[in-house]
Amino acid sequence: MKQRPIALKKGDLIGIIAPSSPPKKAQLQASLAFLDKLGLRYVFGGAVNEVNGYLAGSDEERLADLHTMFADPAIKGIICACGGYGAARFTDAIDFELLAKNPKILWGYSDITFLHNAIGNNSNLVTFHGPMLASDVAEESFQSSSALQFQQLFEPTILQYDLNFGPIKTRVGGQVTAEVVGGNLSLIANGIGTPFQLDVAGKILLIEDVGEEPYRVDCMLNQLRQAGMLDQLTGVIIGDFSEAQPKKQQETLELDDVFSHYFSPLHIPVVSEVKIGHCQPHFAIPLGVEATIDADEPKITFQAGVRKGD
């Protein structure tokens, strides 16, 4: 079992970091009122205000922010400002022992997937796949049901995703209980062949993505297949795949065809159209906890991602 961080309480100090691309300053500033409503205080990492092309400062600066936030006992949790690209550039320099000795909440998604998977594998920590400040919270499309997802950080909470929250489609029936891992499909594929390849053996895999056409999703799933990862799974949660319409091809397979091709032969529970990912509403989940897929119901249950403090 992975180590769960201690739950937040009102008045706690959290760190805001930009491990990948630079956040839009106006959106980040606008999102701070949300943190105020949660009763949280906050401090910014130094790279948040840096711009190095498509990166938020240098790799060394972004890595230093991550290390500083984990090492500082006054900081009780870390929320990422946005995704983009760049977290993988410094992952091989992370002090995973430091993170393991100072377990705390790390919250984000998209490019943050590379950190989730590396930290889960190497520091044995539960981390959180959820909406971010500048890219989600500050947007007019941000929904109240997405905002409520942050409450799981304050109290150990068993989460249930079903039709009351959003769509969920049964692709392959059955039930399974196992650890849930994954996140953005592009980043999972990018990790193959590296020291940070996602460990999926006996686990439930979550995948989501944005702006990827069916042939690109096909390519990435084929990479997982040829790497032997799909045969190791016990269940699959297919999250949101928005903006997936082909841009040039007149003839194309649909995403449904692609998912059926790769997942139906596995004969394990598979659900799709789940509102996890680049979407609204956005259901946030702890990665590394035990989850149960009941694909016949259909519903998914996730165990709590935090623990009570001493």
Q: Is 116 a catalytic residue?
A: no
What 8-state DSSP symbol labels residue 141?
A: T
Q: Is residue 284 a contact partner of residue 152, using CB atoms and an 8 Å limit?
A: yes
**Amino acid sitting at position 107:** W
Catalytic residue among 61, 179, 208, 212: 208
CA dihedral 84, 90, 91, 95 (to 10 degrees): -130
- The strand ranges marked E within 244-284 are 270-272
Token readout for 122 is 């190497």
**Amino acid sitting at position 13:** L
Task: Name the strand (E) or helix (H) holding 79.
Answer: strand 75-80
Catalytic residue among 20, 110, 123, 186: 110
Q: Is 208 a catalytic residue?
A: yes
217/209 Cα distance (integer angstroms):
9
Edge to edge, the sheet with strand 299-302 lists 159-161, 299-302, 290-294, 175-184, 204-210, 235-242, 270-272, 169-172
**Secondary structure of residue 42 in the 3-state scheme:** strand
**Amino acid sitting at position 244:** A
**Amino acid sitting at position 134:** A
Q: Is 278 a catalytic residue?
A: yes
Angle, CA of 49, 136 and 40, to the nearest 5°: 70
**Secondary structure of residue 34 in the 3-state scheme:** helix
Query: Dihedrals φ, ψ of 140, to 5°?
Result: -60, -25
Of 130, 92, 89, which Cα lies nearest the Cα of 109?
130
**Amino acid sitting at position 202:** G
The catalytic residue positions are 110, 208, 278
